[in-house]
Amino acid sequence: MLPGGLYRFVLPKLAILLLALFLGLLTPATSRLGRPTVLILAAIVGTYVIAALSSEDLLAAFVGRWPRYEGLPVLLLYVGLLAVGARVLGGSSAAKSRQYLVHGLCFSMLILAPIAVAEAAGLRPLGGADDTRPGATLGNATDLGLAGLVACLLLLPTALWSKNTLAQIGAAAAGVVTVTSGSRACILIVVICGILLFGFKAFQLFKSGRPVHAIAAFAGFMGVAAVLSWSIPSVAERLFSMETVTGRVYLWEASLQTLSSNAFLGLGAGQFVDALPSHLSDAFAKNVGTDFPADSPHMVLLQLVSAGGLFFLLSVAAAVCTVIVIGFRRIRTAPLNEHKLFLIGALVAICGYGFALMTHFTSPGTTALVCVLAGAILGNAPVLEGPAKSRRDKALDVARLSAVGLALVGALLAGVAASAEIPMKSGTDLAAGGDIPQATKEFEQAKTLRPWDQDIDLLAAQAFAVRAVTGDTTAAAAATTWARAAVERNPSSMEALTALAIGQLGTGDVPAARKTLDTQIDRSPWTSEPHLLRGLAKASGQDMEGAIADIERAAALTPKPERELNILSELYVVSGQPDKAAEVEERLARAR
């Protein structure tokens, strides 16, 4: 996490992960990936590159986009960490390294647990708005749940079948992290996997003549899970809420529509957020809302198709199947020792993570660890030393050293890119406070540090647009300038067009604003904000009938129409229709 940054949680992690890749590739190998696995990983990268080359925005497809930046460099990072997992954690001789990983995860969970508990209680020890679900150092509540899920499931077998006290404490802390995240998918998966593992442990205790211990172990797990889930109001409320479940269904329907004509090669990384608005519906807008555009389908299968097409999805599926098959085979044939317990935990964690991604998306904060665990399962080929090395082994050494150099360069670049988050945060705060010239300097500095990131223009434009809404004409002019740059780099961005329209309205250029808003509405008639802004633009031109029609449409396209109904009531009053204004006030009372 980068204190003082605008979005503090991804680029700093990428810098550390690239440094870990650099060090991991220099570490003496205990095992390595087999040739079939290497070919599958090459297919994953190859299919992604082919899809990226066919994307409408080549730069975004290769480098990724804010906030997770999962382009080709991050994909290569995931592949490299899988190889490091095999190199450092694979094989029977890597017991010490696996112990370090277990201990590291335990301490990580002991740090995350109190933060997660505090956030679940409504506190904000790391900052953030009171009305959002925080996610500790993961930045996203479901990502926090995924981190807890992976750690808990990895540690549980060691905690249950060994006398490793630290693993037992770590597994308990990871369970607390998972529950307090409020992620229903993560909680459900941990409970199901916990029932299976505790149930098998109880069965063994029962067979060994210790029925009381068996009942206590199983009942204790269920009791603790229930108490944790129901004793925290924010978690209990989400467990019985169907709002996000319904929203996921609408999002998946819209995602399928978006991908239906691009399934073969996909849209390219970072393109989903701009392609989705043209495939929405009235039902989506009314039940989900369009104020915060989704940048992922929130289902890993659709996410993979969106980023790289069907062949990319099939390549990743082949890698997952390979991990599962090899994992089962090794677990079945291995004696009950440290390595077997680690393999069981790793395989369960990977499968649990995959199931949780059926309602979420990948991110560097969670996917990296899963890749390392997958590599630990797949690492099986013997490592040859000295003159016994074949020509192929020497070629692999050359490739490895090349990857070492690239990882070091990537870590340095990611560090510089992460540092841009500090002027981004400063610029946003200055814009909110009305110091537009200084805010502009801060955003320009961020752009210098991250010239490849097209979303800096967009984020700056949005920051100035927030201030422009208050009537600050200087902020409106800045919003127009930055939004035009964002639209020039990405003409399909609905968010950039919205910021541009706000800036144009704020500077009094109503005809230009109406033209911008017409473009948005033609492209996506289901997005609420353009209708609202066009209604305000028409009202400023005394077209009250048109303004009322647009505001009515905006109110119909949002699940929480209080703002729209307030404006609509005022318009009816101004236009001399008090009866209509009273009706709107009744609707507003019901909406509240």
Each residue's pLDDT tens digit, 241-252: 666 778 899 999
Q: Tell me, what's the pLDDT at 486?
A: 96
Residue 243: other Cβ atoms inside 10 A: 11
β-bridge mates for residue 32, sequence order = 381
Question: Alpha carbon of 336 to those of 157, 206, 442, 540: distances in Å?
Answer: 11, 19, 58, 76
| pLDDT range class, residue 390, cuts 50, 70, 90 | low
pLDDT in tens, 432-477: 999 999 999 999 999 999 999 999 999 999 999 999 999 999 999 9
Same domain? For 526 and 395 the reply is no
Determine the Cα–Cα distance for residues 254 and 286; give it in Å rounded to an integer: 14
- pLDDT exceeds 60 at position 388: no
β-bridge mates for residue 381, sequence order = 32
Question: Alpha carbon of 548 to those of 554, 580, 581: distances in Å?
Answer: 10, 11, 11
Same domain? For 134 and 209 the reply is yes
pLDDT in tens, 168-189: 999 999 999 999 998 989 999 9
Q: What is the largest CA-CA distance in the chain?
A: 94
Range of the domain at 461: 423-591
| pLDDT range class, residue 199, cuts 50, 70, 90 | confident
Q: Locate tokens 């509405």: which residue?
A: 521
Give the number of domains in the chain. 2
The reported pTM is 0.94
Same domain? For 377 and 433 the reply is no
Structure tokens at 317: 């599926």
Same domain? For 392 and 438 the reply is no
- pLDDT exceeds 60 at position 146: yes
- Residue 274 forms part of a structural domain: yes
| pLDDT range class, residue 202, cuts 50, 70, 90 | confident
Same domain? For 83 and 232 the reply is yes
- pLDDT exceeds 60 at position 539: yes
Same domain? For 379 and 317 the reply is yes
Q: Tell me, what's the pLDDT at 468?
A: 96
| pLDDT range class, residue 207, cuts 50, 70, 90 | confident
Residue 141: other Cβ atoms inside 10 A: 23
Q: Tell me, what's the pLDDT at 384?
A: 53
Letter for the amino acid at 289? Answer: G
Residue 130: other Cβ atoms inside 10 A: 8
DSSP assigned state of 387: G
Same domain? For 269 and 128 the reply is yes
Q: Which of 99-113, 260-274, 311-325, 345-359 has the lowest mean pLDDT?
A: 260-274
Residue among 132, 139, 112, 113 nearest 5 (CA): 139
| pLDDT range class, residue 93, cuts 50, 70, 90 | confident
User: Percentages helix, strand, coil for the chain, rounded to the nearest 5?
Assistant: 75, 0, 25
Phi then psi for residue 32, to 5 deg, are -150, 170
| pLDDT range class, residue 226, cuts 50, 70, 90 | confident
- Residue 413 forms part of a structural domain: no
Determine the Cα–Cα distance for residues 176 and 182; give it in Å rounded to an integer: 10
Same domain? For 302 and 438 the reply is no
- pLDDT exceeds 60 at position 566: yes
Q: Tell me, what's the pLDDT at 386?
A: 53
pLDDT in tens, 476-512: 999 999 999 999 999 999 999 999 999 999 999 999 9
pLDDT in tens, 331-382: 999 898 999 999 999 999 999 999 999 999 999 999 999 999 999 999 986 6
Q: Tell me, what's the pLDDT at 215?
A: 78
Q: Tell me, what's the pLDDT at 241?
A: 67
| pLDDT range class, residue 47, cuts 50, 70, 90 | very high
- Residue 415 forms part of a structural domain: no
> 346, 365, 400: which is the final residue of a domain?
400
Same domain? For 520 and 380 the reply is no
Q: Tell me, what's the pLDDT at 224?
A: 74
Same domain? For 380 and 490 the reply is no
- pLDDT exceeds 60 at position 426: yes
Same domain? For 392 and 518 the reply is no
> 338, 368, 400: which is the final residue of a domain?
400
CB 436 within 8 A of CB 482: no
- pLDDT exceeds 90 at position 121: no
| pLDDT range class, residue 294, cuts 50, 70, 90 | very high
Residue among 489, 414, 437, 434 nearest 459 (CA): 489
- Residue 5 forms part of a structural domain: no
Give the CATH number, domain containing residue 462. Answer: 1.25.40.10
Same domain? For 441 and 586 the reply is yes
- Residue 323 forms part of a structural domain: yes
pLDDT in tens, 17-29: 999 999 999 999 9
Q: Tell me, what's the pLDDT at 242?
A: 63
| 3-class DSSP string for 54-100 | CCCCHHHHHHCCCCCCCCHHHHHHHHHHHHHHHHHHCCHHHHHHHHH
Q: Tell me, what's the pLDDT at 447?
A: 96
